[in-house]
Chain A
Amino acid sequence: MFRLIVLSLALLAPLAQAQLVIEITQGVDDPTPVAVVPFAWEGAGNAPVDMAQVVQEDFERSGQFSPVNRADMLGFPSREEEVFYRDWRAIASEYVLIGRASGEGDQLSLRYELYDVLRQARIAEGSVAGPAGEARMLAHRVSDAVYEKLTGIPGAFATRLIYVSVTRNPTGKDYYRLTLADSDGARPIVLLESREPIMSPSWAPDGKQVAYVSFETGRPAIFRQVLATGEREQLTNFRGLNSSPAWSPDGNSMAMVLSKDGSPDIYLMDMATRRLTRVTSHYAIDTEPSWMPDGRSFLFTSDRGGRPQIYRYDLRSGLTERVTFEGNYNARARVAQDGRNVVLVHQREGEFQIAIHDLVSNRLQVLTNTDLDESPSIAPNGSMVLYATKFGDRGILSAVSVDGGVKFRLPARNGDVREPAWSPYMQF
């Protein structure tokens, strides 16, 4: 039987990959020009990765910056004494990022400095180091630091995505792949390949494990998988639905949806004892749990009011209250780390779009103008929302900033991509 292949990070076998390509469709009106000078390489041979290019693409994708074209640069400084501010004023660049990288064995280190052209001063510097194989991730960490310096918001470039890609097979069963990639879609790694559906991937709070639903046993079951080793474990095997796993913020329990006792309800599984507690009990559908960052309550979707809406269950009081009231369909909520913004799927004029609901002001704002949007997932810094949508007749991933101002698409080179899940901040 060759229907299921589990892969770990250790064996980076690049199977037929759903590599994502990024197309920016909308940026802010007046992006800040930044020059990312190619980093000098002080090691032997050639640099393993053009890390400055990675940083430049991060800035471009943020929509808030317009990186200066390398061909327009009058020089490639890599040290402070080589930075001539008039050169950068001449090409209207407001900031200049320089750096120099060196390698020893399989270790790589990069020192970077950021200059403010108008104030003619160095405003940030730092260094990152790690395995040469993680060169792209090191570059993303530089992006994170510089982005935070320039915007005041921590960057979320050094993070990862998981998503499900489907390759249609007209003559038999489709191929389903659970794929892990960097936040820019690079370095895709297939974690699991199956001829049966894979759904609802979600991250453990430490970013080291993922949980998902796989139909490989002939019916849906929840699995968890350790990224580093590929070790996996089947957590549930109940009759009926086993879906929407969601790790609690402390990682000690997992909310999930089971229909073993009748209608789909939300259960909590204690990850140490595997003991299950039924949390909601209603003949309507209760599903899609999403934890509040404090772990004291979670949001979920229910049609107990006749139409799918978002509700909030408080674990201490056991009380359920309805959260969304605008429109006839609000589902698949995901809470941002600030505990205030909630991204969800909202139906407006018959179209399914991604909206953001403010839990404090109770206001809902639609972010996208496409149809059939689903599965929103919010970046750990709360700035961007990744979601699945249709483009042409293909399923692709798209991203939109939480103010709706920046949009980009991440179509796969082949196949359909859906159900993205943005990782939490990773430990390095």
Chain B
Amino acid sequence: MFRAIPYRRIGLTFLVGPISFLTVAISATAQDYIDVEAERRSPQTQTQTQTQSRPAATVTAPAVSYGVGTAPSAVTTRSLPPPAAAAAGDNLGGLFNQVQQLQQEVMRLNGLVEQQSYEIRTLKEQSLERYMDIDRRLASGSTSVAPPIGSTGGGASPNKPSTGALDSSGSATEVAEQPGEGEAYRAAYALVRGQEFDQAVSAFTAFLERFPAGRYAPNAHYWLGELYLVTDPADPEASRQAFMLLLNQYPTNAKIPDALYKLGRVHFMKGNRDRSREFLNRVIREYPDSSAARLAGDFLDQNL
């Protein structure tokens, strides 16, 4: 009905001039919407004049007003208060306009409240999900890699490459730690644990500038990828680039399955379902035993 009269373009637009959200009346659809709007108003119009006008005329007004060719009658009904009520009519007309304005205003506010409560709800859900995600990763990593750096004492569960910790499995291409690198990384990582995500982004970025080929560079890339998803506002594109860097420069790194899974999610966030599916399927194909593969499977089932 928002396009109630699709077949005719009738000259009703002048009726609805004052209503702001109807000014988009360029397309046929919007046009039709207006017709309904006119209709919506006509019964109200009617009550305004009902006391004076002859019932027969009043009754026909709404039907003819929206579109079978006699549209102007609605206008007539509205714009000509009966003479006997002329004095009162002015006041009534004023009140009527005020009520209209108030209704429009309430509707606008109503929409705003709906939109904002939806956004708040979504944000809450997202931040809880992200927090729990990080928490899970920290929990699974912390037992074996409590000090995130240094303790390469193996133990991180093979199924769950810990995010926060270093690559404890010690990749073949292990690079020696550069002076000051450990402290810088630990400092940045502390910010993550303290949930100072924006500052953590700066810290890891600075870390990578200082130690672009450092021992912990892959971890820093991974963390940046994660962090760009939890900053406010999230930056999926920056996140994607960070994960892609990790993927391209450290293809054998233990965090690749997680990075692939995250890339799937990032592409999903960006609305690219095909790419998302591609990455998720790749984790499942190439790292079938990883927990990332399980997560990817779940995500595919639920969303794609």
Contacts and interface: CB of A to CB of B under 8 A. Distances in A.
Contact of A215 (B62, B68, B119): B68
Interface string A175-206: 01000000000000000000011011000000
Contacts of A73: none
A345 B27 CA distance: 14
A171 interface: no
Interface stretch (A11-19, A133-141, A273-281, A304-312): A304-312
A331 B2 contact: yes
B21 A285 contact: no
Contacts of A243: 1, 4
Interface stretch (B103-111, B149-157, B229-237): B103-111
Interface size class of B (residues with CB under 8 A): 35 or more
B244 to A, nearest CB: 24
Nearest to A287: B1
B27 A352 contact: yes
B136 interface: no
A305 B118 CA distance: 13
B114 interface: yes
Interface string B252-271: 00000000000000000001
B1 A264 contact: yes
Interface string B20-63: 01000011110001001101101110000000000000010011
Interface string A99-113: 000000000000000
Interface string A285-309: 1011000000000000101111111
A204 B45 CA distance: 36
A45 B130 CA distance: 72
Given A197-B68, A264-B36, A288 B63 contact: no
A197 B7 contact: yes
A240 B62 contact: yes
B186 interface: no
Kindly name the residue among B36, B37, B62, B302 whose own CB sees the greatest number of chain A CB atoms within 10 A.
B36
A322 B62 contact: no
Interface in B262-304: 271, 273, 302-303
A241 B107 contact: no
Kindly name the residue among B3, B27, B302 whose own CB sees the greatest number of chain A CB atoms within 10 A.
B3
Contact of A361 (B26, B110, B115, B303): B303
A170 interface: no
Interface string A47-81: 00000000000000000000000000000000000
A239 B33 CA distance: 19
B43 A262 contact: yes
A374 to B, nearest CB: 6
Given A240-B62, A262-B43, A305 B114 contact: yes
Mostly, the B contact residues are helix
A132 B274 CA distance: 46
A215 B56 CA distance: 19
A301 B29 CA distance: 14
A262 B44 contact: yes
Nearest to A345: B29
A307 B108 CA distance: 8
B27 A288 contact: no
Contacts of B271: 365
A332 interface: yes
Given A259-B39, A288-B2, A322-B118, A374 B29 contact: yes
Interface string A220-240: 100000000000000000011
A84 interface: no
B224 interface: no
A244 interface: yes
B64 interface: yes
B5 interface: yes
A285 B36 contact: yes
Contacts of B26: 350
Contacts of A219: 62-64, 68
Kindly name the residue among B62, B63, B66 whose own CB sees the greatest number of chain A CB atoms within 10 A.
B63
A23 interface: no
Given A241-B66, A284-B107, A372-B28, 18 more contacts: A174-B7, A197-B68, A215-B68, A239-B62, A239-B63, A243-B4, A285-B37, A288-B1, A288-B2, A301-B2, A304-B107, A305-B110, A307-B111, A308-B33, A325-B115, A325-B118, A345-B29, A352-B29
Which 6 pairs between the two chains have the least Cβ-Cβ distance?
A: A305-B111, A219-B63, A287-B1, A306-B111, A306-B108, A240-B62
29 contacts: A196-B68, A218-B63, A218-B64, A219-B63, A239-B63, A240-B42, A241-B1, A241-B62, A241-B66, A243-B4, A262-B43, A264-B36, A283-B103, A285-B1, A285-B37, A285-B40, A301-B2, A305-B107, A305-B114, A306-B107, A306-B111, A306-B112, A308-B33, A325-B114, A325-B115, A350-B26, A361-B302, A374-B3, A419-B6
